[in-house]
Structure 1
Amino acid sequence: MFASICRRRLFRFRQIPSAAGADPSRRPYPIDALLSHGYSSAALAGAPLPEPCPATVSNLTSCGLSPASTAARKHSIRSADRADAVRALFRSYGFTDADITEIVRRASAVFTLDPDRILRPKLDLFASLGVRPRRLSTAPILFMRSLDNHLVPCVQFLRGVLGTDADVCDAISRTPRGLLADLEKNMRPAVAALRRLGLPDEFISKLITIEMGVLMLSPDRITQIFEYLKLLDLGVTDRGFLYAFRALCCLSRETWLRKVALYQSFGVSEGELLKAFKKQPTITLFSDEIITKKLQFYLDELKLEVSDVMRHPVLMGYSLEKCIIPRCAVLSVLMREGKIEPNIKLPTALLGSAKNFSDKYVMRYAHDVPDVVKAYEGKIKFEGFR
């Protein structure tokens, strides 16, 4: 009954035609080979939603939502006492008011369920695994799945594949929606496909732990991702294979092509982008706004070449505000004081862990140049390299 509520994303590849006059066989990488289609329920247009009842208004208001919200109009909470009991139950399991508001926003029908008979056993299951309430609040539809017919069998299957409850907890916490996959129709066929394609069991365990959404993919989609990664010369035992696989699981056709176009608008070539993707697959998972902001900073403020950034794609994963800008401020102070040369290899200097950077550029000079500590703490603003 509730399976129809869950949106299942199935993807597939197909090659799109190349530009006129181009020979696809001569392309260094099939940048447009990754095409996928997601299936989602269509919204009913023009059908007015009913006005929420007083009990719904009262409970949504107490949860911090407007009575005019979509949640209010999609579901009616007829029993204020039951909704209050559900809210009290969630709080007793460590859910904050923000978590409860998120549950109401995403699936207010949860507040119509029997708190002791239906919800408590499911909360006990997740609590026994160590899954944090904050993560569950992002996929509250899980509370509407059958405990005996769905949740428990899926958790037992995951235990068999992953090995420990700690790994099961990590997998669910990273991708709660992955637990919505049907055991027989999705989970077992997905794992069987991964094994058939040569992925070792220990790699399957790690892949599911970092992206349980793979269990929602069809065997055909999994096969297509394997084929695409082969075109990138990524084998199943290569270091970047699992993270590249994870990235492709999360990208639709439209999103992939949009990311490619965005990078190319900054002068990144197709070859550079795909080589960077092999090193750091997450470069395609950031929002368009974040990609634009970071590239503009590296190219306009730091005067780096786009090829410099693509040779060190991990730079795209660093936070500008928390990491890159404070480090630039430190390096600027050291240049001003003559402690390091102005022609330092900037991309290399910016890389590395916080501890390594601090040891090399902050603590090393803190006695002679106290400003480096202030710069690292954000108390001296970075205004460019002079």
Structure 2
Amino acid sequence: MLLQRRLFYLLPYSAPRITTLAPFSHHLLISILRFSAPTTQTPSPTPPFIVEFLLNSCGLSSSKAIEASKHLAHFKSPAQPTSVIQFLQQLGLSDSHIRISISKCPRLLCANVEKTLRPKIRSLREMGFSEAELGQLISANPNVLRVRNPRPKIEFWRDFFSSNEELFKAIGRDAYLLSSSLSKRIIPNISLLRECCIPDHRIAKMMLSTRFVARKPSLIQAAVKRADELGVPRSSGSFPHLLQTVFNISQSTVDAKLKLFKSLGWSEAEFLSAMPKNPVLLRLSEKNVRDKMDFFMKEVGCELGYIVRRPVLLSYSLERRLIPRHLVLRTLKHEGLPGGTRDLLTAILFSEKSFIEKFVLPYRENVPGLHEAYVVACAGKAPI
């Protein structure tokens, strides 16, 4: 207790408790870090009150606060960041929204309330965003309050997505959607994707799963060219998936995957024929592919042609789906039960709920313990 009291009085500043988001242990942690270091070390240039402020007033964790403080070393007093936090609270943002926003964008605390933040909020409100939606929007991408003129981009994306929830998810996943040029990047890239027969709703879906549309047009063009070279028709439903895949991997990776499948008995034509059915093959590791091919050919007894015609088989988890379901089918077949005659692919494609209802629960009396053993096997803990 005496040590805590001494350390407390050694603190040069105690941040105003705008919100009660951090316990005293954080004070003690920062004090120890600051005053227990060897005297030979160079003192940190970050003012001591900054970390305290981020802990107490913003609710950041100790590690996040220390990391964020590196961007705020120029502050001479807590007046500026305090004004920002108070403004956000007045808007109705929750403690959670404030914590997430500052964690993502510490420099938001540098913004001038009257010259920058208030006009931006006024513009967003004019667009019809409610108080709750403002919290979602800002915490999804705090740069909405920092970029020069976010309104045209928000209006563009709002028309593109089917709901505000999708908008928040997209800009939260890819911050460049609000900072990249509409005329130089966004619109040219979307036009190119439309030329590839990809409808807007699929483009929107692509944006919700990967950072893609806000990149340099030359990169998107190169990805389209490589996808074309793999022989997948642009009209194919798998073309968008393949495009995203090749955008994120190098040509050398594609070449290495072709070499791998050739070593496993596939011809180049068979490999290319599998691309429209399962572009995920390009992202699988060598060990993943080899283990699954060994399982299907040696354990299950599949012919190579069976796998080539059904490349989706290689997409599923070996330990949590393929092995447990194969063992269920093998058990049912051994007992002479109807479920054991079903094709493996058919059984694998069922959802977890449907598989249990069709292949496990009907045979509980015939094979006692089957359900329990299957659950254990799916957890990767033991075979059936």
**Pair in the same fold by TM > 0.5:** yes
1:358 correspondence with 2:353: no
Match of 1:145 among 144, 147, 153: 147
Equivalences for residues 229-308 of structure 1 within 5 A:
229-253=227-251, 256=254, 270-285=268-283, 288=285, 292-293=287-288, 295-296=290-291, 299=294, 303=299, 307=304
**What is the aligned partner in structure 1 of residue 60 from structure 2?**
63
The amino acid across from 1:144 in the alignment is: R
- Partner secondary structure for residue 158 of structure 1: helix
The amino acid across from 2:364 in the alignment is: A
The C-alpha deviation readout for 1:214-267, integer Å capped at 9, x for no partner, is 432444444443333333333332221222222233334566566667767777
- State the shift of 1:310 in Å: 5.3
Match of 1:53 among 37, 47, 50: 47
Question: Residues 136 and 352 of structure 1: is their aligned pair in 2 closer, same or farther, counting only changes over 3 Å?
Answer: farther
- State the shift of 1:94 in Å: 5.5
The C-alpha deviation readout for 1:324-374, integer Å capped at 9, x for no partner, is 455345445535644368797544432232343223212332343342321
**What is the aligned partner in structure 1 of residue 202 from structure 2?**
206
Larger Rg, first or second structure (1 or 2): 2
Quick check: 1:77–1:111 contact (8 Å CA) kept in 2? no
What TM-score, normalized to structure 1? 0.62
Q: What CA distance in whole angstroms lies between the structure 2 residues aligned with 1:279 and 1:94?
A: 45
The C-alpha deviation readout for 1:123-156, integer Å capped at 9, x for no partner, is 877965998989976765555323xx1x321122
- Partner secondary structure for residue 243 of structure 1: helix
Quick check: 1:167–1:209 contact (8 Å CA) kept in 2? no
Equivalences for residues 127-166 of structure 1 within 5 A:
140-146=142-148, 149=149, 151-162=150-161, 165=164
**What is the aligned partner in structure 2 of residue 17 from structure 1?**
none
- State the shift of 1:210 in Å: 1.9
Quick check: 2:227–2:239 contact (8 Å CA) kept in 1? yes
Equivalences for residues 159-174 of structure 1 within 5 A:
159-162=158-161, 165=164, 168-169=167-168, 171-172=170-171
Question: Residues 64 and 199 of structure 1: is their aligned pair in 2 closer, same or farther, counting only changes over 3 Å?
Answer: same
240-249 or 312-321: which moved more?
Answer: 312-321
Q: What CA distance in whole angstroms lies between the structure 1 residues aligned with 2:375 and 2:61?
A: 36
**What is the aligned partner in structure 1 of residue 12 from structure 2?**
none
**What is the aligned partner in structure 1 of residue 117 from structure 2?**
118
Question: Residues 379 and 244 of structure 1: is their aligned pair in 2 closer, same or farther, counting only changes over 3 Å?
Answer: closer
RMSD: 4.8
The amino acid across from 1:145 in the alignment is: V
Q: What CA distance in whole angstroms lies between the structure 2 residues aligned with 1:217 and 1:49?
A: 40
Q: What CA distance in whole angstroms lies between the structure 2 residues aligned with 1:85 and 1:230?
A: 54
Equivalences for residues 15-34 of structure 1 within 5 A:
none
Number of residue-to-residue matches in the alignment: 327
The amino acid across from 2:147 in the alignment is: R
Q: What CA distance in whole angstroms lies between the structure 1 residues aligned with 2:158 and 2:230?
A: 32
Question: Residues 374 and 58 of structure 1: is their aligned pair in 2 closer, same or farther, counting only changes over 3 Å?
Answer: same
Q: What CA distance in whole angstroms lies between the structure 2 residues aligned with 1:316 and 1:266?
A: 13
Q: What CA distance in whole angstroms lies between the structure 2 residues aligned with 1:221 and 1:284?
A: 18
Quick check: 2:171–2:177 contact (8 Å CA) kept in 1? yes
- Partner secondary structure for residue 276 of structure 2: helix
Structure scoring higher RCO (CA < 8 A, sep ≥ 6) equals 1
Quick check: 1:272–1:310 contact (8 Å CA) kept in 2? yes
Quick check: 2:238–2:277 contact (8 Å CA) kept in 1? yes
- State the shift of 1:161 in Å: 4.2
**What is the aligned partner in structure 2 of residue 29 from structure 1?**
none
Question: Residues 161 and 74 of structure 1: is their aligned pair in 2 closer, same or farther, counting only changes over 3 Å?
Answer: closer
- Partner secondary structure for residue 235 of structure 1: coil
Quick check: 2:332–2:340 contact (8 Å CA) kept in 1? no
What TM-score, normalized to structure 2? 0.62
Q: What CA distance in whole angstroms lies between the structure 1 residues aligned with 2:141 and 2:366?
A: 52
- State the shift of 1:199 in Å: 2.8
Q: What CA distance in whole angstroms lies between the structure 1 residues aligned with 2:294 and 2:61?
A: 43
Quick check: 2:232–2:275 contact (8 Å CA) kept in 1? no
Quick check: 1:330–1:362 contact (8 Å CA) kept in 2? yes
- State the shift of 1:186 in Å: 0.9
Quick check: 2:147–2:178 contact (8 Å CA) kept in 1? no
Question: Residues 159 and 142 of structure 1: is their aligned pair in 2 closer, same or farther, counting only changes over 3 Å?
Answer: closer
Q: What CA distance in whole angstroms lies between the structure 2 residues aligned with 1:132 and 1:209?
A: 23
Q: What CA distance in whole angstroms lies between the structure 2 residues aligned with 1:128 and 1:351?
A: 42
- Partner secondary structure for residue 332 of structure 2: helix
The amino acid across from 2:155 in the alignment is: Q
